[in-house]
Amino acid sequence: MNFKTLLIKKSLFLVVIAFITTFESYTQQVINTTLQHDGKTRRYRLYIPASYDSNKASPLILNYHGFTNDINTQYNQSNFQQLAEANQFIFVTPEGLGFLKGWAINNNFGGNEDDVGFTNSLIDKIESDYNINAKRIYATGFSNGGFFSYRLACELSNRIAAVASVAGSMTRRWITNNQCQPQHPTAVLQITGTNDNVISINGNGTNEPIADVMEYWSSRNNGDATPEVIQLGGGSSRSIWDNGDNGVTAEFIRVQGKGHSWNGGGVNTSQEIWNFFSRFDIDGEIGSNPNPPSGDTCSSTIVNFPYNESFEGNIGGWNQATNDDLNWIVNSNGTPSNGTGPSTAIDGNSYIYIEVSGDGDGYPNKRAILNAPCINLSELTTPRVKFNYHMVGSAVGNLSVEARINNTGNWTSIFSKTGEQGTGWNEADISLAAYAGETSVQLRINAVSGNS
């Protein structure tokens, strides 16, 4: 049995520099660049809309091409640029490896590269350069890229909120071998044409029929066994398997007369995908899902700055949430589980951490929330939050810092990291400019344990 500590969180404080105000503006950017992963150079194209605001966390769409296609083909046919400008999301179009470029989907088709690991590293890189809403990372793709989007929902679900497959499907072995293990209810959209002779609606010896794929996801989500069918005109239809946990759905747009293509049949594929993605985050349907737990409201208010909390011997004015799974623990020196944390605090003598030992008790997907006091930012123009964190171990889960105002409404992620982040302490420095002038801002640390 492996015993792993998810993370350590420490030294949270707000800083403002008097008489200095920082403004950042962006122009639309198309960035063609590379990332080194697994000893190989991986290419991708990043689109940053002119509407991007570094003070607001942006959704991110991962956009995968089909087998034998490349960046240019998928970037041009998906044409997400205007949607990105209008809706302030970033999208990235990666490229597969090999002479016949594709994505590994666990059946020797599309290659055998570590494309899931590459995707994880790609998300890390984009998050390090831009303000990304870690709860709103989506995957879509065409054909082989659609298959791969489903694979990400199965194997990288701690980072993927929802997926949309165009002219793709799932391989039968994923389902029969129980290879798909999503960690949360997942919204899925499939768009396929009736004249697709490459990836047929009815499946084949390798691929599941589309209706069976939708039923599979609805069952995983504890949703309806049969869909509501809405006629779209011209013989096309939308089938909706509703009532999944956390409000998620599985939806299939059957496009009359469309072949093996991104567009066709009078359906604006990219618009349909964004309309679908915009309804969900990693916790389910946006605005209606109680998970993660709302936690407790803040009461006492911080009014003097700079404010520092080093958790020396106790959690100070912070409060443990009452409706999560685990509590944060104050500790000094090493953690109880060997090789899972630091040997010393980064300053002072103490730090806080969560202990996730014990299958069913500490993992998988157990949540720990710590609520800050209320923070009055009415007199601050450029507030920032700085903290140190420590995340080590191959099965480390997710650490987020979230904010909201006036003890009401949805939480907004202002920081998120998933997986091991080196063996030492890291520092985060996050702008709170979006909350400047507010009289009651609440922050919380929200951590979810990994799979072991």
Q: Where in the chain is the domain with CATH 2.60.120.200?
A: 5-16+291-448
**How would residue 243 be classed by pLDDT, with cut points 50, 70 and 90?**
very high
The pLDDT tens digits for 129-169 are 999 998 899 999 999 999 999 999 999 998 999 999 999 99
**319 forms bridges with which residues in the sheet?**
371
Residue 238 and residue 248 in contact, taking contact as beta carbons nearer than 8 Å: no
0.75 cut: is pTM over it?
A: no
Most confident of 118-122, 204-208, 323-327, 367-371: 118-122
Number of CB atoms found within 10 A of residue 233's CB: 8
What is the pLDDT at residue 17?
A: 30
Counting every residue written for the chain, the total comes to 452
Joined together, the tokens standing for residue 114 give 């570590």
What is the pLDDT at residue 14?
A: 38
What is the pLDDT at residue 76?
A: 97
What is the pLDDT at residue 19?
A: 29
Indicate whether 190 pLDDT > 80.
Answer: yes
What is the pLDDT at residue 40?
A: 93
User: Does the domain made of 29-285 have the CATH classification 3.40.50.1820?
Assistant: yes
Indicate whether 262 pLDDT > 90.
Answer: yes
**How would residue 29 be classed by pLDDT, with cut points 50, 70 and 90?**
very high
Indicate whether 23 pLDDT > 60.
Answer: no
* Closest C-alpha to 407, from 373, 368, 430, 379: 373
Mean pLDDT over 354-372 rounds to 75
Name the more confident of 364 and 295: 364
The pLDDT tens digits for 265-287 are 999 999 999 999 999 999 899 86
What is the distance between the alpha carbons of residues 214 and 239, in angstroms, rounded to a whole number? 9
Q: Where in the chain is the domain with CATH 3.40.50.1820?
A: 29-285
What is the pLDDT at residue 42?
A: 96
**Cα angle: 174, vertex 179, 184; to 5 degrees:** 110
**How would residue 362 be classed by pLDDT, with cut points 50, 70 and 90?**
low
Q: Candidates 2.60.120.200, 3.40.50.300, 3.30.1330.200, 2.60.120.330; correct CATH number of 5-16+291-448?
A: 2.60.120.200
